[in-house]
């Protein structure tokens, strides 16, 4: 892990802590809560004009007073570091979600270009290689999602499969049975 990645990890901890402190303290007073949320939203909007990744958010934290002054010219009555930290946490989640959506779109576009019916957007390319965690496959023609999960620590039903839309979750205690069900479901969605 590089120095920049470590700085982002450390900053993410500070941002989450700032959110917890800020919103926890504001909950007792509804008027303060609305002002605080308004200030955080204004700072998020200001940060969007200045940064496009977590490293930019880390650097923005060093200019908290300047950013709060630009976003809230009438002041906020809260520590600038706290407001910028909470806003950074929110924007970081937004940026992470956007980046993940772009990654998934790229994976699906590549699968289409290769003429595949399915795109694996999370986990190993083959479900047989899944030993822990999840594999998410999207049927490109219909948008049907098949999620396979393995929880090696589960006492029962260590293997699960969920198809969306529909959301039916089925658990299995036997790996071979689970794999057979996954093959059946995928063939049902795409008989070709």
Per-residue pLDDT of the chain (192 residues; tens, 9 = 90+): 677 888 899 999 999 999 988 887 777 777 788 888 899 999 999 999 999 999 999 999 999 999 999 999 998 888 999 999 999 999 999 999 999 999 999 999 999 999 999 999 999 999 999 999 999 999 999 999 999 999 999 888 899 999 999 878 899 999 999 999 999 999 999 987
Read off the DSSP letter of residue 123: S
Q: Does residue 27 form part of some domain?
A: yes
Supply the range of the domain harboring residue 156. Answer: 116-189
Give yes or no for a contact between 67 and 50, defined as CB atoms under 8 angstroms apart. yes
Looking at the fold, whether 98 and 129 belong to one and the same domain comes out as no
Looking at the fold, whether 98 and 140 belong to one and the same domain comes out as no
Kind and range of the H or E element at 18?
A: helix 3-26
For residue 118, give both structure tokens.
């399915």
Q: Does residue 34 form part of some domain?
A: yes
Looking at the fold, whether 65 and 148 belong to one and the same domain comes out as no
Looking at the fold, whether 99 and 11 belong to one and the same domain comes out as yes
Q: Does residue 7 form part of some domain?
A: yes
Looking at the fold, whether 86 and 178 belong to one and the same domain comes out as no
pTM, two decimal places: 0.77
| Rounded Cα distance, 6 and 54, in Å | 11
Give the burial string for 91-103 (b: 16+ CB within 10 Å, else e): bbeebeeeeeeee
Looking at the fold, whether 157 and 74 belong to one and the same domain comes out as no
In the chain, the number of structural domains is 2
Looking at the fold, whether 95 and 22 belong to one and the same domain comes out as yes
Looking at the fold, whether 79 and 134 belong to one and the same domain comes out as no
């Amino acid at each position: 892990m590089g120095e920049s990645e470590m700085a982002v990890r450390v900053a993410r901890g500070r941002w989450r802590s700032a959110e917890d402190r800020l919103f926890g303290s504001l909950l007792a007073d509804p008027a303060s809560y609305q002002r605080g949320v308004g200030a955080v939203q204004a700072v998020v909007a200001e940060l969007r004009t200045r940064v496009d990744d977590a490293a930019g958010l880390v650097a923005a934290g060093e200019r908290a007073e300047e950013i709060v002054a630009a976003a809230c010219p009438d002041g906020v009555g809260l520590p600038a570091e706290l407001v910028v930290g909470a806003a950074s946490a929110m924007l970081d989640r937004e940026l992470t979600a956007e980046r993940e959506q772009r990654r998934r779109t790229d994976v699906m576009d590549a699968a289409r270009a290769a003429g595949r019916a399915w795109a694996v957007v999370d986990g190993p390319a083959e479900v047989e290689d899944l030993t822990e965690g999840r594999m998410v496959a999207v049927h490109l023609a219909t948008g049907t999602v098949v999620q396979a999960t393995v929880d090696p620590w589960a006492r029962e039903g260590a293997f699960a499969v969920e198809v969306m839309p529909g959301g039916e979750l089925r658990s299995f205690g036997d790996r071979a049975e689970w794999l057979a069900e996954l093959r059946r479901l995928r063939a049902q969605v795409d008989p070709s």
